[in-house]
Amino acid sequence: MSAQHAFVTGAGTGIGRAIALALAGKGFAVSLAGRRAGPLQAVAAEIVALGGKALVVDGFDVIDEQAVAAGAAQAISALGEVSVLVNCAGEAPSAPFEKTDPGLWNHVVAVNLTGTYLVTRALLPSLRKAGSARIINIASTAGMTGYAYVSAYCAAKHGVVGLTRSLALELARTGITVNAVCPGFTDTPLLDAAVDNITGKTGRSADDARAALARANPQGRLVTPQEVADAVLWLAGEGAGAVTGQAIAVAGGEVMN
């Protein structure tokens, strides 16, 4: 891989953490961006212990344009131009459509879609300077199909896939590729929150709730964060230079293009 500096949002836990560690393992210096310092510092310590280089960019709220600009400038100053951007920050609260009030709707769309726009916009000049760069948006199978009780999340992730495709065409002649990775139900803290919601509303056990989510995958299991990170590593590599504008499902066959 020719890239040297990767910038990962939502890097403190779950899929973002796995991606950051995987990129560091391939020799990238990694900017770890997120709102909470503690989890980011823990990931940075793991990277340093493995001989890698990491920068903690905390207080990085993807819906705060000023915070995004400041964090982008901090990362570029410390580690140089960004050649791989991974937009991973996201939230997935659930509610029936009729109980999805404008506050919930606007927040979910802001974090998942507008945040991707703001971070990409802030770092695109750096990505252009880096040359053959990569933008990888962590969307979801919710950006490829529908799920009940998460209408705002589905709408936002469909928007991320649309943004990915549009920007891929705009940047096609620049050497920058833009792709989306779309995980199915993945064993992360985000899924734990979904399990808690199911158990709270239905009285089912946590094990039953997790099994029900796993059954959505034809392989009968949850996706692992490392499997998502592996897809990101491939897209970040030189061998994926002709792949752009794609939404790649990592979901055991749950969604097929």
Looking at the annotation, which residues are catalytic?
A: 153
Q: How many CB atoms lie within 10 A of CB 12?
A: 26
Q: To the nearest 10°, report the CA torsion of 257, 19, 89, 193.
A: 90
C-alpha dist (Å) from residue 245 to 28, 160, 166, 179, 249: 24, 11, 8, 5, 13
Over the range 122-161, which residues count as b (16 or more CB within 10 Å of their CB) and which as e? Answer: bbbebbeebeebbbbbbbbbbbbeebebbbbbbbbbbbbb
Residue 62 exposure: Cα atoms within 13 Å on the Cβ side: 30
Burial class (CB in 10 A: 0-12, 13-18, 19+), 237: middle
Q: How far apart are CA 24 and CA 71, in angstroms?
A: 19
Task: Kindly give the residue spans of alpha helices, DSSP state H, lying in 102-214.
Answer: 102-109, 115-130, 151-170, 189-202, 206-214
- State the amino acid at position 195 in one-letter form: V
